[in-house]
Amino acid sequence: MKLIIAVLLGSSLLLSCSGPGNEFRYQTDALDWGTDTCLVYGHKAPDVDAVASSIALSRLMCSLGHYCEPRLAGPANRETKFVSGRLGFSLPIVQESVLPGTRIILTDHSEYAQSVNGVKEAKVLQIIDHHPGGDIDGVPFVVCDKIGAASTLVWELYGKAGVEVDNATASVLLSGILSDTHFLTKNATQRDSTALLSLAAQLDMGAEQLAELSKGMSEADSDYSGMSDTEMYLDDVRDYVMSGRQVRIGSLDWAGHEALDAFLDRVLGAMHSLDDGKTLYFAKVDARADDGTAVSYILYSGAEAEKTALACFGKPVREGVCRSSRKINRKYDLVPMLTKALE
Ligand SMILES: [Mn+2]
């Protein structure tokens, strides 16, 4: 399989490697590792794929002789806690900022706005991401392919390096792919299913076990019980810069435990309370219509966010809420639409 290694956004290097482990190892060894521990970070508001890819990549770098440790840029979400408990892997410690000059590797993101505090003064050695178009540039080693999960890319790098994935790491990677692709039903490519099926076979997990695990993970993901409205909004939030504007987008699931309108009111209340006028606040809430169709609601706070949302989705269905008659994806639908509307 050919792995394209592309350097983001106008950097100087474009590499394509399809050779044996040696080439990847050579590229890795050539990085400026220094003498201190290199920290591996997924994005802020860490989800399973962010955490899994950072743990597994850190282990791969260690086995290649480069001392790395994974870190969380913030507390892990419920789905991550659920799956780490279920599969028995421990979570990295939270370290919300890095000192200037720290060597770091980023997985599952390539945007400054989503990265650990201090990233601009740190030395970013690698980016392993599946969201093209990030704004962090000048990084010497970048793998950025638009596929279902960053964990898939890390699994492929083990192959490139000729390093065997041990069973403990296989569980970690499997959970990242299951989570980001919703068990291969969301944004999954052939590469994601190849990786997932290989990991499942290694762990002796059948389709039924995978389905059961995936169901438990999604339930944990949309279980907001015991959270304040603000915690619920911040649970899966991403920050972006669009045409110089700070934009924050939450992503939530309405699980039907309470009336939809009451749920939307809680999310809107949280957005209003966070809104300081400097950032445009949005949320996407996935729900089911009465006939069972998957739909999305797009929530906004403030006049400029309203103008932007209306330009994308037309008339609101109620104050602060637009509706899409199909379920939309934050990364592939909403972000491009808002970006264009803000140009
Ligand atoms: Mn991801």
Find out whether 40 and 70 touch, Cβ atoms under 8 Å: yes
Report the pLDDT value the prediction gives residue 341, as an integer from 0 to 100.
Answer: 97
- What is the tens place of the pLDDT at every residue in 283-339? 999 999 889 899 999 999 999 999 999 999 999 999 999 999 999 999 889 999 999
Report the pLDDT value the prediction gives residue 155, as an integer from 0 to 100.
Answer: 98
Please provide the size of the chain in residues.
343
**Are residue 213 and residue 238 in the same domain, yes or no?**
no
Find out whether 48 and 238 touch, Cβ atoms under 8 Å: no
- Using pLDDT thresholds of 50, 70 and 90, give the confidence band for residue 18: very low
- Residue range of the domain that includes 183: 3-217
Instruction: Say yes or no to pLDDT of 6 above 60.
Output: no
Q: Cα-atom radius of gyration of the chain, to the nearest Å? A: 20
Report the pLDDT value the prediction gives residue 8, as an integer from 0 to 100.
Answer: 39
Report the pLDDT value the prediction gives residue 39, as an integer from 0 to 100.
Answer: 98
Q: Please give the average per-residue pLDDT across 234-244, as a whole number.
A: 95
- Last residue in a domain, options 217, 245, 275: 217
Report the pLDDT value the prediction gives residue 133, as an integer from 0 to 100.
Answer: 83
Q: Check which CATH number belongs to the domain holding 167 and give it.
A: 3.90.1640.10
Find out whether 24 and 157 touch, Cβ atoms under 8 Å: yes
**Are residue 189 and residue 285 in the same domain, yes or no?**
no
- Last residue in a domain, options 217, 252, 267: 217
CA 315 to ligand 1 centroid distance, Å: 32
Of 14-23, 29-38, 81-90, the range with the lowest mean pLDDT is: 14-23
Q: How far is CA 35 from the centre of its chain?
A: 29
Asked whether residue 150 is domain-assigned, the answer is yes
Report the pLDDT value the prediction gives residue 15, as an integer from 0 to 100.
Answer: 44
CA 150 to ligand 1 centroid distance, Å: 5
**Are residue 196 and residue 262 in the same domain, yes or no?**
no
- Using pLDDT thresholds of 50, 70 and 90, give the confidence band for residue 16: very low
Q: Please give the average per-residue pLDDT across 181-207, as a whole number.
A: 97
Instruction: Say yes or no to pLDDT of 102 above 60.
Output: yes
**Are residue 253 and residue 207 in the same domain, yes or no?**
no
| Average predicted confidence (pLDDT) for the chain | 92
Q: Please give the average per-residue pLDDT across 175-200, as a whole number.
A: 97
- What is the tens place of the pLDDT at every residue in 113-161? 999 999 999 999 999 999 988 999 999 999 999 999 999 999 999 999 9
CA 236 to ligand 1 centroid distance, Å: 12
CA 4 to ligand 1 centroid distance, Å: 18
CA 106 to ligand 1 centroid distance, Å: 12
Asked whether residue 222 is domain-assigned, the answer is no
- Last residue in a domain, options 191, 217, 243: 217
CA 173 to ligand 1 centroid distance, Å: 11
Spell out the residues 6+ positions from residue 336 whose beta carbon is closer than 8 angstroms to its own. Answer: none
**Are residue 286 and residue 308 in the same domain, yes or no?**
yes
Gap between the Cα atoms of 187 and 317, Å rounded? 28
**Are residue 188 and residue 253 in the same domain, yes or no?**
no
Instruction: Say yes or no to pLDDT of 13 above 80.
Output: no
User: What residues are paired with 143 via a beta bridge?
Assistant: 128
- Our count of domains for the chain comes to 2
**Are residue 251 and residue 198 in the same domain, yes or no?**
no
Report the pLDDT value the prediction gives residue 257, as an integer from 0 to 100.
Answer: 79
Asked whether residue 223 is domain-assigned, the answer is no
CA 171 to ligand 1 centroid distance, Å: 16
Instruction: Say yes or no to pLDDT of 11 above 80.
Output: no
Q: Please give the average per-residue pLDDT across 42-50, as a whole number.
A: 97
**Are residue 169 and residue 22 in the same domain, yes or no?**
yes
Q: Check which CATH number belongs to the domain holding 267 and give it.
A: 3.10.310.20
CA 119 to ligand 1 centroid distance, Å: 19
Which of 63 and 18 is assigned the larger pLDDT? 63
**Are residue 183 and residue 320 in the same domain, yes or no?**
no
**Are residue 311 and residue 213 in the same domain, yes or no?**
no
CA 176 to ligand 1 centroid distance, Å: 8
Instruction: Say yes or no to pLDDT of 3 above 60.
Output: no
Asked whether residue 224 is domain-assigned, the answer is no
